[in-house]
Amino acid sequence: MVKRLREKRNWSQEQLATLSGLSTRTIQRIESGNKASIESLKALASVFEIDISKLQEEIIVIDKTSNEWKKEPLWVRFSFWGVKARKQIIMLEMTTVLLGLLTWFIKPDVIATPAFFLLAYIFSNMKHYIDTKKYW
């Protein structure tokens, strides 16, 4: 979220560091997903003129309005049709793993068991792809 706010204002990391009184390295750590201290969050919230709770929230919703998202291939955008939150993909992934385990232990099925595990693998890769692109 910090990176998005910074880029929205066309600031460099160095400029944000100067304005917030933090080091450039701290800005880099925060933008790469590391936890920020409450003091750092207060400084950033002040600079961005937003409530600190906004910075404390985990970004878990796909920004489907961004230009980067619109440049994604149609099959990627279609795969995430109806998916808004990261939590949805995690739930699908865990559900298919559990169903795979159930069909394996209770009544092994030649088709259902591998199909559930394959779906779990696909959901995991979808989540990873969106994570690496930082769309959440």
- 14-48 pLDDT tens trace: 999 999 899 999 888 888 767 778 888 889 889 88
What's the pTM value of the predicted model, to 2 decimals? 0.56
Residues 94 and 52 in one domain: no
pLDDT attached to residue 65: 72
Residues 129 and 74 in one domain: yes
107: in domain: yes
Residues 83 and 39 in one domain: no
In sequence order, the β-bridge partners of residue 61 are: 85
82: in domain: yes
Residues 47 and 87 in one domain: no
Can you give the residue range of the structural domain that contains 105? Answer: 67-133
CA-to-CA separations, 39 to 14, 23, 51, 75, in angstroms, rounded:
18, 13, 13, 42
CATH number of the domain enclosing 36: 1.10.260.40
Residues 79 and 116 in one domain: yes
Rounded to the nearest 10°, the torsion over CA 70, 74, 78, 79 is -100
Cα 55 to Cα 17: distance, rounded to the nearest angstrom: 16
pLDDT at 58 over 60: no
Cα 5 to Cα 109: distance, rounded to the nearest angstrom: 50
Residues 11 and 45 in one domain: yes
Residues 37 and 89 in one domain: no
Overall domain count for the chain:
2
112: in domain: yes
Q: Per residue in 66-99, pLDDT tens?
A: 788 889 999 888 888 888 778 888 999 999 999 9
25: in domain: yes
pLDDT at 130 over 90: no
62: in domain: no
Residues 104 and 127 in one domain: yes
Percentage of the residues of the chain whose pLDDT score is greater than 90:
34
CA-to-CA separations, 99 to 23, 80, 88, 118, in angstroms, rounded:
48, 22, 16, 11
Residues 52 and 72 in one domain: no
